[in-house]
Structure 1
Amino acid sequence: MPATLQDQLVVAISSRALFDFEEENCLFETGDAAAYMQLQLERLDVPARPGVAFSLVKKLLAFNDAAQRRVEVVVLSRNDPVSGMRVFRSVAAAGMTVERGVFTQGRDPFRYLRPLGAHLFLSANEADVRQALGLGFPAARVAIGSPQAGSNHPDEVRIAFDGDAVLFADEAERVYQAKGLAAFQKHEKLKAELPLPDGPFKPLLAALHRLQQAGSPVMRLRTALVTARSAPAHERAIRTLMHWGVGVDEAMFLGGLPKGEFLREFEPDFFFDDQTGHIEHAARHVPAGHVAAGVTNSAPAAETTARRARSNRA
């Protein structure tokens, strides 16, 4: 029988999201592809340092055992095949098992998400992330420079999500952007029992729920909703998760408080948010990625920033 990734959580990840290739990338950005390839070849036996999403990937792979593969990680990279050799050697040096990779030598890699059936795509390339989201795949641009995940929970994968425009569609966010906080609160109170439409990361949360239900003798999964919502708008978010039949282990309704310090205490292996301001603050404390979805990412940046500054829901 042919190989299949059915019933597995499939994570597609770029080499820069998995490893710290920033020094090499600086050379790549000069346009000297031959020099970049030569540098990677010279460093073939030098394991790359962990990147922003390294902890997330390593812990997810720990759900696999000799009896069953529950997670598949595929390197999906604009790198050339020669540089791909270093990626795979770095993976092996880190004690991880990653068997599949697609290296496109500068061409768009996101088109391979469909045959992979990916539940998540992580990349440092914003254009690739936007294209992936447009195709309906959960995707985030890793915040290069984020700190490594903490080491206090070696047997637990911890993932935190924003709500609107991430787990949920941006229906409520559009009301807030157009009419302000009071209208947003009224809108959500009136629709408290009506589930929010699916957001771009609902498929990932559902896949993680299945992984959590399957269980593992060596690894657990803990999720958190970290949102700027506050009462009474909290109720619709909770009821939406109940309607989906998918829970989260923790929920933080922060009412505009900065998320970074709360995330520092939760210690996620990764945090997803649609607002660059939240990501910039969170990335001071934890690995984070920007989800370029929803009305906030289609409005002019200056207008969005001004509106956030006028509201205590920022």
Structure 2
Amino acid sequence: MPASLDHLLVVALSSRALFDFEEENRVFEEQDDRAYMKLQLDRLERAAPPGVAFPLVKKLLAFNADGRQRVEVVILSRNDPVSGLRVFRSAEENGLKLGRGVFTRGRPPYAFLDPLGAHLFLSANADDVRKALAAGFPAAQVFAHSHVDPDRHAEELRIAFDGDAVLFSDEAERVYAAQGLSGFHDHERTYVERPLPPGPFKPLLEALQRLQNLDGAPAPVRLRTALVTARSAPAHERAIRTLMQWGVSVDEAMFLGGLDKGPFLAKFEPDFFFDDQTGHCESAARAGPAGHVPSGVRNV
């Protein structure tokens, strides 16, 4: 019987999302793939430094620490197989137990998300992220210069989400764009008891909640989630009612009414934050790893 990833949280990510390969990538862009391959092979014995998604992956793999496999992390990369040697070697040197990877040498890898049954795809390649979202998978482009601290709150995984166009659809953002703040608030009051349509990251939030008590056994790592949104009262109520209708929850909610999200995220200290607006991601990146979700009307 073949191996199966059913009932696991499956995260796929590119090598540049997991490790800091920005210097190597500049060689690829300024020269060619052969120069890039040679550099990666020359550095085979040198572990790559942690990248934006490293803290997230480290914490997710810790869910398997008690011998019960709950999470599978797969490298899904445009790298060539030779460069893939350094990816796996760097993972081993950094204490990450990774066993699976797909290396496509320049071809878009997002098509492999389907047979993997991935719940999340992280990449530095904007086109791959957009195509993954279009195919129905939660996906984000990592902000390469995010603050990375893989050792903080080691026993707790913290993930923060924007609301509209991330957890929820962009329905409300379209109303805001067309009618302004007053029209947006009127719309949300009118439809307060109608759940918002799901956004691209609803499946990930649901999968994270299942992860915490998979097989009925408490997980070795605590999970803490937050909704960090520009909404404010009265528009907050529809967001909360929507989560209740879905049967999912978050531990914290920040209704900021347009305030800069970065200082609030600095207090939450996320291992990853997802937002559909690059400006919010740039602010959040000073507090921790951030990923841009190119979804909704603001990214058309």
1:210-229 aligned at under 5 Å gives the runs 210-214=210-214, 216-229=218-231
State, as a whole percentage, how many aligned pairs show the same letter.
69
The count of aligned residue pairs is 298
Query: How far does the alpha carbon of each residue in 1:196-219 deviate from its partner, in whole angstroms, 9 at most, with x for none?
Result: 001000000000010123354521
Partners of 2:24 and 2:39 in 1: how far apart? 7
User: Would you say the 8 A contact 1:18–1:54 is kept in 2?
Assistant: yes
Which residue does the alignment assign to 1:266?
268
Distance 1:145 1:152 in 2: 18
Q: Secondary structure at the match of 1:20?
A: coil
* Aligned partners of 1:156 and 1:220 also within 8 Å: yes
Deviation readout 1:230-267 (Å, 9 max, x if unpaired)? 00000000000001110000000001110000000000
Amino acid at match of 2:103: F
Partner of 2:88: 88
Q: Distance in 2 between matches of 1:24 and 1:38?
A: 10
Q: SS where residue 76 of structure 1 aligns?
A: strand
Q: Tell me which residue corresponds to 2:59.
A: 59
Aligned to 2:139: 139
The residue number in structure 2 matching 1:280 is 282
* Aligned partner of residue 121 in structure 2, secondary structure: strand
Instruction: Please tell me the residue identity of whatever aligns with 2:245.
Output: H
Q: Distance in 2 between matches of 1:70 and 1:23?
A: 34
> Residue 245 of structure 2 aligns with which residue?
243
Are the counterparts in 1 of residues 15 and 75 from structure 2 also a CA contact under 8 Å? yes
- TM-score of the superposition, structure 1-length normalised? 0.93
SS at match of 2:168: coil
Matched residue type, 1:294:
G
Matches of 1:262 and 1:93, distance apart in 2: 34
Match of 1:32 in 2: 32
Aligned-pair CA distance for 1:65: 3.6
Structure 2: distance between partners of 1:35 and 1:152: 36
Contact preservation (8 Å) 1:149, 1:267: no
Query: Quick check: 1:149–1:268 contact (8 Å CA) kept in 2?
Result: no
Partner of 1:109: 109
Query: Residues of 2 paired with 1:107 and 1:263: CA distance?
Result: 35
Structure 2 letter corresponding to 1:40: Q
Say if 1:254 and 1:150 are closer, same or farther in 2 by CA, change over 3 A: farther
| Contact 1:16 1:124 (C-alpha < 8 Å) held by counterparts | yes
Partner Cα distance (1:50, 1:216) in 2: 28
CA drift at 1:31:
4.3
The equivalent of 1:170 in structure 2 is: 170
One-letter code aligned to 1:259: K
Per the TM alignment, residue 175 of structure 1 is displaced from its structure 2 partner at its CA by: 0.1
In structure 2, what is the Cα distance between the partners aligned to 1:272 and 1:112?
22
Return the alpha-carbon distance in structure 2 between the equivalents of residues 216 and 34 of structure 1: 47
For structure 2, the 5+ residue unaligned runs are none
The question of whether the paired residues in 2 share the 8 Å contact of 1:63 and 1:216 is answered with: no
Instruction: Quote the RMSD (CA, aligned, Å).
Output: 1.0
Distance (Å, rounded) in 1 between the aligned partners of 2:57 and 2:9: 11
Whole-angstrom distance in 2 between the partners of 1:42 and 1:152 = 32
Q: Quote the offset at 1:33 in angstroms.
A: 1.0
How many angstroms does 1:123 deviate by?
A: 0.2
The unaligned stretches of length 5 or more in structure 1 are 299-314
1:16 equivalent to 2:8? Answer no
1:254 is aligned to 256
Query: Is 1:126 matched up with 2:126?
Result: yes
Whether 1:289 aligns to 2:253 is no
Deviation, structure 1 residue 150: 6.3
**Cα displacement string for residues 82-127 of structure 1 (whole angstroms, at most 9, x for unaligned residues):** 0000000000011111100000000000010000010000000000
Runs (4+) of structure 1 moved beyond 3 Å?
A: 149-152
Question: Who is 1:234 aligned against?
Answer: 236
Q: Deviations over 1:263-309 (max 9, x none)?
A: 000000000000011111111221100000000000xxxxxxxxxxx
> Is the Cα–Cα contact under 8 Å of residues 228 and 256 in structure 1 kept in the other structure?
yes
